[in-house]
Amino acid sequence: MKAFLIDKYGGPARMRAAEVPEPQVGAEDVLVEIRAAGVNPLDVKLRDGAFKAFLPYRLPLVLGNDLAGEVVRVGPAVTRFAVGDEVYGRPDKGRIGTFAERLAVHQGDLALKPAALTMPEAASLPLVALTSWQALVERARVRPGRKVLVHAGAGGLGSVAVQLAKARGAHVAATASAATAELVEELGADEVVDYRTQDFEEVLDGYDVVLDSLGGENLARSLRVLRPGGIAISVAGPPDPAFARELGVGPVLRLAMGALSFRARRSARRQGVTYSFLFMKASGDQLREVTRLVDAGKIRPVVDTVFPFDDTLRAMEHVEKGRAKAGKVVVAMAA
């Protein structure tokens, strides 16, 4: 079958199309004929080797972290799905590879696709919806009356996080460009800060939660808009000791992650707030919660561009160069 993979870590030239063996289907696995796959900044980072220290993939590696498709085979112990079901999901971090025609996925990592969504729309959701859920619901416990700031509110992650925070009853602020401000307001933001002309530190104060997808100085400044006891959750900032414990890495890597995040954690402590790094986990159960919100009209996918599967390299370039105006980039197989 056709797939897009890397033989070595590096830049765009390291990724290529190739013929790879058909997936092996375990007892609790579901073989999915992939109809569409989301393209994420995470795919670019994995290609470049940004996480190779603590995600030791065996190369060659097929990239891709989101899928929507149809079940074509199930393992003998599968109880949740049947051949012909339309599903969507994010495979476990050790079993990625959605830039391919088929993928075997553990049944616990999948959910039935929301019926009203197209395959590309469904494929745009899993990674960003799970990240939003794990940040805002699991970690920050957002509830009515909380104030939540979402950075890059028109982006793939931000567009879903704004909707989820609003569905949880929060007062939502988001940073965005003037060109996407109207969209972000339509998604539910109560306040939109134009990051090009306004300093969000001067506009916002007393927030309970910040969801940061930019890292660096943006994260440092985000700590200062939190109220005492607030939390900044970043998917782009430095990994912290809690993440090291979650991964179960050795003492050397634990020390390294502690050193990388020391400045952010120290700054947070001085301001009476918390810094937390998030690397999302696969979860079919959480995706079923997302499906309920989609079905209820509380969350809708925002898709920037759909590329043909054969143009996956071009789709990656579109993401890497920041050409997406709003929402997710997706690759779709020919019908």
State whether 36 and 136 are in the same domain: no
Dump the DSSP string for 259-275. HHTHHHHHHHHHTT-EE
Q: Say how far apart CA 332 and CA 26 lie, in whole Å.
A: 26
State whether 273 and 133 are in the same domain: yes
State whether 112 and 141 are in the same domain: no
Nearest to 163 by CA among 211, 115, 229: 211
Q: Is the pTM of this model over 0.75?
A: yes
User: Within a 10 A sphere around the Cβ of 269, how many other Cβ atoms?
Assistant: 12
In a domain, 294, yes or no: no
State whether 138 and 244 are in the same domain: yes
CATH value at residue 162: 3.40.50.720
In a domain, 285, yes or no: no
Among the residues of the chain, which ranges form H helices? 41-48, 119-123, 126-133, 156-167, 181-187, 200-203, 216-223, 241-247, 251-260, 262-270, 284-295, 312-320
In a domain, 287, yes or no: no
CA 241, chain centre distance (Å)? 21
Determine the 3-state secondary structure of 202 from DSSP: helix
State whether 115 and 83 are in the same domain: yes
Angle between helices 312-320 and 41-48 (to 10 degrees): 100
pLDDT on residue 133:
98
Give the model confidence (pLDDT) of 23-53 as tens digits: 999 999 999 999 999 999 999 999 999 988 8
Pair 223, 149: CB distance under 8 Å: no
Nearest to 283 by CA among 29, 36, 110: 110
In a domain, 36, yes or no: yes
How does residue 253 score in pLDDT terms, banded at 50, 70 and 90?
confident
Average pLDDT along the chain: 96
Give the model confidence (pLDDT) of 144-155 as tens digits: 999 999 999 999
Q: Say how far apart CA 244 and CA 255 lie, in whole Å.
A: 9
Determine the 3-state secondary structure of 82 from DSSP: coil
State whether 134 and 103 are in the same domain: no
Range of the domain at 238: 127-277
Residues 6+ apart with CB under 8 A from 264: 219, 220, 223, 234, 237, 238, 240, 275
State whether 136 and 273 are in the same domain: yes
In a domain, 284, yes or no: no
CATH value at residue 116: 3.90.180.10
State whether 150 and 114 are in the same domain: no
Structure tokens at 175: 């940073």
Q: What share of the chain is helix, strand, coil (3-state, %, to 5)?
A: 35, 25, 35
State whether 195 and 268 are in the same domain: yes
In a domain, 291, yes or no: no
Phi-psi region of 152 (alpha: psi -120 to 50; beta: other; left: phi over 0): left
Buried b (16+ CB within 10 A) or exposed e, 187-203: bbbebbbebeeeebeee
Q: Is the pLDDT of residue 277 over 80?
A: yes
State whether 34 and 105 are in the same domain: yes
Q: Is the pLDDT of residue 335 over 80?
A: no
% of the chain residues with pLDDT over 90: 92
Structure tokens at 293: 């919100």
pLDDT on residue 244:
86
Half-sphere exposure of 88 (CA within 13 A, CB side): 29
Give the model confidence (pLDDT) of 214-246 as tens digits: 999 999 999 999 999 999 999 999 999 888 888
In a domain, 136, yes or no: yes
Give the model confidence (pLDDT) of 120-132 as tens digits: 999 999 999 999 9
Q: Say how far apart CA 38 and CA 84 lie, in whole Å.
A: 21
Say how many domains are in the chain: 2
State whether 305 and 197 are in the same domain: no
State whether 118 and 26 are in the same domain: yes
In a domain, 289, yes or no: no
Q: Is the pLDDT of residue 249 over 90?
A: no
Q: For the purposes of burial, counting CB atoms within 10 Å of the CB of 95, is it exposed (0-12), middle (13-18) or buried (19 or more)?
A: middle
Q: Say how far apart CA 314 and CA 224 lie, in whole Å.
A: 38
pLDDT on residue 166:
98
